[in-house]
Structure 1
């Protein structure tokens, strides 16, 4: 009965949303209703009706996504109610239950928690096509649907809620998706902070409370301390790789905004605390030890007399008021300011202790503990801001400094003399007198950025600065160049030598060649004394960032993922050699091609010994807005991430899927090589570059003002220099989606041809027992289901060389059919039958998606054939709306 009620409600919900959308559309464009219901195609509309029709379809996709979100939340609740919280996949309850069942003691569980470090990292790559205004409307619609889900409403009240819902859909219609101008970095900073204010600040202590509850159920009576292991980071305002809009001034502004946001949040929480702590000294007996603590807090607040006079006989309210006054001073930078977030946290601990001493344990857990957890996670910073720059820029700036210091003896990057010069300067603690007036703009900007870093590391929250991430790391000397620039800019603890650098420096390995070279680079880096001392100062832990995008663009989906897995195992082994723990920072995106996959399963598929309680992962663009659109979903996503890291780290006895499997590794090596060869063959096909440029809207994507970054590095125009995000975005817009599957079919076919039935049997065993291989197959299968070679053929028709277009499309189509067939043989079912929710969602959208693609092909023809005319402008506007519609349907962009 409950299942029937839920399904019926879902149908009612979708019907309600469609009915309201049709009402809104019919009031403006009556023809739109026929398009939404499938009685008319987009291509049959007059040019002036295309944008409203596309907008209506895009709105419908957005509404269905919101409804799916609500359904998922309801399904999780029903599972918890029916089977119990321990049976909810990806929950802390399930992980702690398994730990207890496997015989882990409470002390072992506490030790695992103490090692836990989870770092979601917000980025502002050009993948986010939704404006903050649209996100806010989505959030209000979700809330209205949640309210309507309650059975308590009278018909009149329900009608009012439905009317409110219609008004929100009306606003969504009228708001539009197109940005009038490319967003500034400052706007991107505000966009990122939106999710903290609306979701993450509150979801984080709720996450810790869920873990605490699970521990207390499975280890009753055992003491437990839940550390603040969620440590958020951001690239928004710090990532200057190829983005000239991110300057030192912008980075300083970003850190100020992040700081003010955290302190502003604490001020609001403390004001609430002041209002509720009404305990009277006439009723309670405070421990004598609290009196000097209270007096010290009052004295340090600078408002002792005013607070005492305002709240007589209310010592706890006085104490909270003193903390509030100090926070106010911290925000304003006046003399009563807290010197650090830890000092504020110490005062909160004192408040929690005195509440427990007087029997107010429930009050402490409800009002103080969440704030303690928040301060532990967010400090006086909200996020730790990473600074990213390209190795080419770093080396160019250092070469300039060397030339200014010794113009008679220039040294070229990459030479033995260059390496010797850097290492000698580091070992001697060399300092340079830098005349800012003689620096190029590029050098002046980078050195100013290091000055901003130095200033904030010495501020009230040294963790406001995260890591310096060096993209396109190609050698140990590339990283040592960053160490030396940091030394020159005041970040050395001992300027005369023998000290450390007060900045975490993280290599980013992106291409397949770089991933293969990474272990040797790390080994060389850790052989440098200054680096060893610095790493030791940071807890003997070296972070390594792995890029999923460029390696995919280099070698295709399977080869990229295998090279990433091998690199992690080899890098971890290098760390063990040097007695350094290696922690990985995964640069994942939204799509499968850029590392996107179900979070829990992606973590479970990581090689054994490469997680060890720590993981950072990028949360990009549309991934942020889908994961953190509302508090329930946000909390669930954070729990899946953190519980997955904990589960991978503790493991379970006899877990065969985590054991070393040389036979599987050898097979994967062969499959990856054959897959990469097939993918490379396609890239080398004559006319392929023209096919990519003409059979996709890649050139037109730049008009969609999605982010502050340019689409290409250093002004280059070839595929090699195109950023991976528009590369994936373009292939998704034309429904080839080949970055998520191409080459896998050829690899499996060759493997079976060479090895016969033994090879086929081995693939079957790998699918059954290798989480890594199964994840590859699963995600490729889902991407194949979203691909459509008939739609792709329409885009191929845009290519001027029809012979080349036919040849290339035929090659892609043959690989598509081969991969479909072999994956079907492996799974034993129809394509995506194993993923009913995914399949049902895409089936619900397929008709509208195909219709939009057909119109987009027509629009691309019009845009390209009418350069400089009013017709081109009209077609371009419609084209950009179609791009947003397709992105909304797929659920990601790049």
Structure 2
């Protein structure tokens, strides 16, 4: 019996889903009587222990969902309670049962977030905020206790930069409409925690909760069409409007409070260290729907989002701060500033007459008028639109807010300044006039084609094109970078150059012109960096610098001094990670590159890819090669005097780097963080972390405090000190693991097995993102994107991207080193954070594998020999990996050391397994359908099954 099947039996279908509800064959009361029963049951929520869920919350949600199913489609309730539907039921019932299971997984996730929030509150109440995991208070308290001097803290704060980057990779199956319902359900669960409600009020709250679940039932779960980039932009901005605008000022306040408490008498300047980036509307790599016009539209929408937020907050402040001059006399300095603001408003007398004696209101009204003018200009979207009476930059708005903040501080009204004005100023300084810093991303292949077109436009007749990456090619790039531009004719020559290039190459060059244009229109910090996917050589990066020069993105008119747009190489394959020091050393030998880095803040950022390195070499090898690369790049930076910072390209699933954030950061190599951290947040991860206020505040603090903790402890903590024997063992394990993985994925016809034994091809119809599943339209293993690669292996319950090769690696290691080797691995498991993290996540992934269901998918492969060969290899490696992982960890069975994880999985597996069996049959029927009409009939339930399994595991790609 597989571990997943064992967990399913452990959970039990009906018991796992609703342990206190009556037998499913009994008719349940509906309507007001049922609401009253559930309201009474929810009134006494027991104290939490180490549970993943609050039992009362789970029972309440399940009961309300069953009540909806009973009234809307009674047969579906049987499926919810774990019973199989008869084969004779109409297809509509089949679809509804799949949708209902998906809704249940969503509700379980909300219950999990609610329970986690309650647990954090209880810890804080019982032990204090400084005992709360992942809090600034705990990190700063430990630093003070360890004797970290205040001067070192100031130095760290000066360099501190944390930026999660929201991407639009196609891994989010939930529409914004559904996310909004989820948020309302979460908030109603929070309301129900309060003991203040009367029985009548509690019944009303539970009834309202039931209404939201019914709305989920009636809302279309699947997108009718593939989302546009504009819809993805709206999806990303949704989280800012709901939670993130508010979360960052609270984060800054928590850090300031912790510093003042644990370093009394010391003064600290807390910079705006936490900002968000985005790829939505700027990521062109393989997405033909992102062009310069889309990027411009994205920047305008980003600008509108923050300006609307500032306007809303200013209206609230103007209504709130009804302070009279008699009650709180302001300083002469403020009065002079107010007089100037009233005069500049053009309507000063009316403003003063409307709020006589209320000086704060008058001043805020003047600010509001200017924001309104700025917002009006933004809504017109004209590149040359003048801002009559508005703010040209976010700095001007922040300066005006600082005036009134200082006025309150000068009158000893510290609470007023901190509570009302400072959070808004922090928002403006953080989100500026662009909400996020938009990164641009393109593939090195596309950049190379554009450079070739540029060479041809300037080459003399008969000249031979140098081979890209040849010494002659590099010499041409360096010569072009050194050639001064004619400042007087540069704009005209740029326009003429665009006319000489083919359309796609002209569009690529114009990316950089868009940066130049939109920095003036939106915000000087509207863009983050240019990310070069699949960077293989230093000349790839030099080529980006040349295109930036041609578009006028250098600091000097001649275009030879320094580039104003950071260029970030993305190293994705294991070979490129290994060659990283060579690539970067060659790059940093170019003086212009050094000058550019200096002008941009003195730090070179390198992005490292978890997804493609995993697809390239397997889970163990990917993690070890990423760790080694960071160590070597950090050393190179010290040698060359150029600090290095890492941008971690993590995905949602374990196979793509989606590890627990705190543990993942803690396991990074010593000195590799150094107070600077960027990470991608994508798809379902974004909604899980940032959809609700409490969880959003927790996750931003978790991320920032983990970065701060790693920086403080990097050279002090034994766990981060490199150990030669550990590194040697990791190298041996990584090599053996990669060899086993490579032998598997490189065998003939694996893609044929994968396509038949998984819903790989059908994923493209799920409409989860605007980007195609393959680069450049190819259908090879190399061009298949990492997301569908992981997604499809998870759907068919092989999940091999998170474990394959690990068992062979450990077995080979122990075959050579015997008991001494096992003793070393067990010591590494206790002392090496990286090794422990890898083994733990492999173990959790193994718990999600179900060979019985996987075998059902394999039966879809028509070629018997291929099926038996491939599946036999998977079965053998799974048994070996399970055995080896338990030998290293000392566990008795898979996942027994993770009780909360086991509980979550046990609750979900009965339904996931049931849906998986349905999906196998749906795939067979869909593929065998004789007509397009028949295929369309099976498509919706098939897509619902994909969506449902993804929701059940909480991750897609």
For normalisation by structure 1, the TM-score amounts to 0.98
For 1:123, which of 167, 192, 207 is the aligned residue? Answer: 167
SS in 2 for 1:560: helix
SS in 2 for 1:130: coil
Specify every segment of 5 or more residues in structure 2 that has no aligned partner in the other structure, as ranges.
1-43, 378-386
CA deviation after TM superposition for structure 1 residue 653, in Å? 7.0
CA deviation after TM superposition for structure 1 residue 242, in Å? 0.9
User: How far apart are the structure 1 equivalents of 2:251 and 2:559?
Assistant: 44
Alignment pair present for 1:877 and 2:877 = no
Q: Deviations over 1:46-88 (max 9, x none)?
A: 4332101101111111111111110110011111111221111
Say if 2:846 and 2:882, in contact at 8 Å, map to a contact too: yes
User: What is aligned with 1:162?
Assistant: 206
Q: Deviations over 1:736-780 (max 9, x none)?
A: 000001111100000011111111111011101000100001111
Alignment pair present for 1:802 and 2:864 = yes
**1:686-765 map, 5 Å:** 686-765=748-827
For 1:47, which of 91, 96, 99 is the aligned residue? Answer: 91
Q: Structure 1 residues 494, 216: closer, same or farther in 2, change over 3 A?
A: closer
User: How far apart are the structure 1 equivalents of 2:447 and 2:942?
Assistant: 39
Say if 2:45 and 2:54, in contact at 8 Å, map to a contact too: no
User: How far apart are the structure 1 equivalents of 2:616 and 2:771?
Assistant: 22
**1:117-266 map, 5 Å:** 117-266=161-310
User: How far apart are the structure 1 equivalents of 2:953 and 2:883?
Assistant: 23
Alignment pair present for 1:768 and 2:830 = yes
User: What is aligned with 1:393?
Assistant: 446
Q: Deviations over 1:503-547 (max 9, x none)?
A: 111100111111111111111111111111100001110111111
For 2:713, which of 651, 657, 669 is the aligned residue? Answer: 651
CA deviation after TM superposition for structure 1 residue 652, in Å? 6.8
**1:399-414 map, 5 Å:** 399-408=452-461, 409-412=463-466, 413-414=468-469
**1:777-788 map, 5 Å:** 777-788=839-850
User: How far apart are the structure 2 equivalents of 1:498 and 1:629?
Assistant: 45
User: How far apart are the structure 2 equivalents of 1:460 and 1:236?
Assistant: 16
CA deviation after TM superposition for structure 1 residue 4, in Å? 4.8
SS in 2 for 1:719: coil
User: What is aligned with 1:446?
Assistant: 508
User: How far apart are the structure 2 equivalents of 1:826 and 1:43?
Assistant: 46
User: How far apart are the structure 1 equivalents of 2:616 and 2:67?
Assistant: 48
User: What is aligned with 2:477?
Assistant: 422
Say if 1:733 and 1:887, in contact at 8 Å, map to a contact too: yes
User: How far apart are the structure 2 equivalents of 1:419 and 1:653?
Assistant: 39
User: How far apart are the structure 2 equivalents of 1:3 and 1:263?
Assistant: 41
User: How far apart are the structure 2 equivalents of 1:48 and 1:610?
Assistant: 54
Q: Structure 1 residues 626, 458: closer, same or farther in 2, change over 3 A?
A: same
CA deviation after TM superposition for structure 1 residue 44, in Å? 7.1
Say if 1:118 and 1:230, in contact at 8 Å, map to a contact too: yes
CA deviation after TM superposition for structure 1 residue 231, in Å? 1.3
CA deviation after TM superposition for structure 1 residue 206, in Å? 1.3
User: What is aligned with 2:656?
Assistant: 594
CA deviation after TM superposition for structure 1 residue 43, in Å? 6.0
Say if 1:35 and 1:42, in contact at 8 Å, map to a contact too: no
For normalisation by structure 2, the TM-score amounts to 0.91
Alignment pair present for 1:464 and 2:526 = yes
For 1:546, which of 594, 605, 608 is the aligned residue? Answer: 608
User: How far apart are the structure 2 equivalents of 1:867 and 1:494?
Assistant: 65
For 2:540, which of 475, 478, 481 is the aligned residue? Answer: 478
User: How far apart are the structure 1 equivalents of 2:593 and 2:105?
Assistant: 51
Say if 2:610 and 2:657, in contact at 8 Å, map to a contact too: yes
Say if 2:481 and 2:560, in contact at 8 Å, map to a contact too: no
Q: Deviations over 1:386-415 (max 9, x none)?
A: 010111111111111221122522424222
SS in 2 for 1:244: coil
CA deviation after TM superposition for structure 1 residue 427, in Å? 1.5
User: How far apart are the structure 2 equivalents of 1:690 and 1:608?
Assistant: 43
User: What is aligned with 1:370?
Assistant: 423
**1:16-35 map, 5 Å:** 16-35=60-79
Comparing 12-21 with 780-789, which one deviates more in the overlay? Answer: 12-21
User: How far apart are the structure 2 equivalents of 1:3 and 1:46?
Assistant: 40
Comparing 123-132 with 85-94, which one deviates more in the overlay? Answer: 85-94
User: How far apart are the structure 2 equivalents of 1:458 and 1:343?
Assistant: 15
Q: Deviations over 1:130-153 (max 9, x none)?
A: 000000111111111111111111
* Count of residues paired in the alignment: 893
User: How far apart are the structure 2 equivalents of 1:191 and 1:856?
Assistant: 28
Q: Structure 1 residues 43, 15: closer, same or farther in 2, change over 3 A?
A: farther
SS in 1 for 2:223: coil
For 1:56, which of 100, 103, 109 is the aligned residue? Answer: 100
Say if 1:471 and 1:509, in contact at 8 Å, map to a contact too: yes
User: How far apart are the structure 2 equivalents of 1:516 and 1:793?
Assistant: 37
Alignment pair present for 1:681 and 2:743 = yes
User: How far apart are the structure 2 equivalents of 1:81 and 1:351?
Assistant: 35
For 2:926, which of 846, 859, 863 is the aligned residue? Answer: 863
User: How far apart are the structure 1 equivalents of 2:517 and 2:939?
Assistant: 46
Alignment pair present for 1:843 and 2:906 = yes
Specify every segment of 5 or more residues in structure 1 that has no aligned partner in the other structure, as ranges.
none
User: How far apart are the structure 2 equivalents of 1:3 and 1:180?
Assistant: 40
Q: Structure 1 residues 114, 303: closer, same or farther in 2, change over 3 A?
A: farther
Say if 1:384 and 1:464, in contact at 8 Å, map to a contact too: yes
CA deviation after TM superposition for structure 1 residue 42, in Å? 7.5
Say if 2:300 and 2:522, in contact at 8 Å, map to a contact too: no
User: How far apart are the structure 1 equivalents of 2:285 and 2:460?
Assistant: 28
**1:601-680 map, 5 Å:** 601-651=663-713, 654-680=716-742
SS in 2 for 1:458: helix
User: What is aligned with 1:569?
Assistant: 631
Q: Structure 1 residues 747, 45: closer, same or farther in 2, change over 3 A?
A: farther
Q: Deviations over 1:86-126 (max 9, x none)?
A: 11111111101101110123333233222210001000001
SS in 1 for 2:847: helix
Comparing 318-327 with 730-739, which one deviates more in the overlay? Answer: 318-327
Say if 2:604 and 2:644, in contact at 8 Å, map to a contact too: yes
User: How far apart are the structure 2 equivalents of 1:422 and 1:25?
Assistant: 66
CA deviation after TM superposition for structure 1 residue 5, in Å? 3.9
User: What is aligned with 2:59?
Assistant: 15
CA deviation after TM superposition for structure 1 residue 684, in Å? 2.5
Say if 1:102 and 1:653, in contact at 8 Å, map to a contact too: no
Say if 1:487 and 1:495, in contact at 8 Å, map to a contact too: no
Say if 1:93 and 1:211, in contact at 8 Å, map to a contact too: yes
| CA RMSD after TM alignment | 1.7
User: How far apart are the structure 1 equivalents of 2:862 and 2:889?
Assistant: 40
Q: Deviations over 1:786-845 (max 9, x none)?
A: 111111111111101112211211111111111111111222222111111111000111
